[in-house]
Amino acid sequence: MLRWFLVACVLVSACGKDAKPNPEGDRARAALLADARTIDAPLASDAATARDAAPTVAVPTTATAKVLEVVIADRVACVRRTDGRVRCWGSPFDGRGLPVVAAAIEIPDLTTAAAIDLGPDQTLYVVTEDGHVRSAALDLRAKQLQLAELEGIDDVIDVRAYGKVPVVLTRTGNVYTPASGTPILTNAVQLRRALDGSVQVLHRDGRVSWFDGKAREVPKLGDATQLFGNRCAQRRGGPPVCWDSGKVKPWVGAGNIIDRVHGQNFRCDLTGSGVACAGANGHGQLGAGPGPDRSDAKVVSLPAKPLALAIGARSTCAVLDSGELACWGANDGGQLGDGTLVDRPTPILVPGLTTTSPPEPSDGRSRVQEASTPMDWTGLPASCKRPTAITTAEATLATVASAYAHVDARGTTVWLADFALPPEGVPAGDRIVRGTQVALQLALGNGRKPVDRGRYQDRGPRTAQLTIHAAERTPAVVDRVDLVVELVDKAWICGQLLDVEDPKRRQPFAARVHKRAR
């Protein structure tokens, strides 16, 4: 019976290995794929991912090391280097309240990484050169990172996470999970995770299977040579194909496709010509500069040839043949690794990934993204008082830099923040605060009637709900709210926030009415 159990290993010098890293794991994965192809298989597919066909690399003798592989889970990214070391950065947004790490840090005493993966829960999995697998829930601020070793199996060359379940590929082509005493699949050469979290498996004979708690096979597909995109494959005997619920269908997209990665409402293609992205662009995630969303792909200008792509919810990174990593898009959690919390609509090279030592630590708070339109208080009615500070039991706005009210069929939403808010409103789902920024959101409802003057509370005919937005934690909804609206017109809404314990204690609020642009 194959036994899997976890042994905690604190990463101190006693757990490290003095052996020099070697490219054996990369060669093994490339060899397995090469054996599965015929001589006329598409050459472009050889570079589909740095993990699946990483080049043979000698142990570096210089002070720098190249990036071989990048993996991303939401706002966290990790790279594997040619010297077997792993560096990570970002901000796990999972309710643990972990602070942002906006510049890469090195996983201590790990010098023999041969493959890595980040699970959807941002657990780091590391395959070491000796064929073992270690894992840890990332806490990038921890002084000691504990890796748990999956024992009872060796000779591993690759790993993919299906939820919290690691799926591993051995050198002999067997695929295991922690619960399997025998291989769940055999004769395998490649693993790849699909958008639904399932792990796709390419077999040496051209068949394709997938694991979603059970092992299943894609019917009527027997000449696949390389997995790419979301449940798609290059074929030996024809154009690429994809599958959905096991049904094979033709690939729709670029003819010279190498890989396609999907983020939140956008995608990027790696082709023989480079990288092109299409879809949402609110944070510059298309990589071609600021601008509107686009249904047609825009080419991303990169400083070197891209070899592989990895994508987060609203950001993308490309491994370059120069050994560097280029990233672009949203940076609200430091996921671009440049030491700031500033979105990048065009690619930047992530600093400190190839150097002997990682860069200086940074939480990104010295450079924080703000909206470009400052608040204009001109025209505030004489009966309204401009707020200078607002204090609640849960949060304090030391200064009210901007305040806008947005009216819709459900009522009026008033935003108050200590930074420049976008006057057109905040798109649903966006995390608007970064670093030390704070914003208060007042949702006022009056049934189906327009918001008017009077008292609003957390319950009753005129209702109010207060949500506090602070970086690095889930927005907090305050249970008790009490306020009085004193003036409402086409341009302004203002009034007093009341202390729920002592209504005589009041604080003024005011906001300019602005119609939503989206």
pLDDT digits (tens, 9 = 90+) for 79-100: 999 999 999 999 876 555 567 8
Q: What is the per-residue pLDDT for 2?
A: 34
Backbone φ, ψ for residue 269 (5° rounding):
-110, 135
Q: Are strands 506-513 and 402-408 parallel, antiparallel or unpaired?
A: parallel
Length of the chain: 518
Q: What is the per-residue pLDDT for 17?
A: 33
Q: What is the per-residue pLDDT for 234?
A: 97
Q: What is the per-residue pLDDT for 28?
A: 58
Tell me the sheet residues that pair with 128.
Answer: 113
Beta-strand ranges (E) seen in 418-514 are 438-445, 454-457, 463-470, 476-478, 482-488, 492-498, 506-513
Tell me the sheet residues that pair with 244.
Answer: 247
Q: What are the CA-CA distances from residue 64 to residues 57, 94, 116 (Å)?
A: 13, 34, 20
For residue 435, give every residue at least 6 positions away whose Cβ sits within 8 Å of its Cβ, in sequence order, or none.
Answer: 100, 341, 363, 364, 365, 368, 471
Q: What is the per-residue pLDDT for 3?
A: 35
For residue 333, give every residue at least 6 positions away whose Cβ sits within 8 Å of its Cβ, in sequence order, or none.
Answer: 74, 75, 76, 90, 91, 93, 100, 341, 431
Q: Among 69, 64, 90, which Cα is nearest to 80's? A: 69
Asked whether 385 and 486 are in contact (CB, 8 A), the reply is: no
Q: What is the per-residue pLDDT for 27?
A: 59
Q: What is the per-residue pLDDT for 518?
A: 41
Q: What is the per-residue pLDDT for 32?
A: 57
Tell me the helices (H) and strands (E) count for the chain, helix number first. 1, 39
Q: pTM here? A: 0.84
Q: What is the per-residue pLDDT for 140?
A: 82
Task: Classify residue 336 as exposed, middle or buried by CB count within 10 Å of its CB (0-12, 13-18, 19+).
Answer: buried
Flag residues of the chain having pLDDT under 50: 1-23, 36-62, 517-518
Token code pair at residue 205: 């004979």
Q: What is the per-residue pLDDT for 30?
A: 60
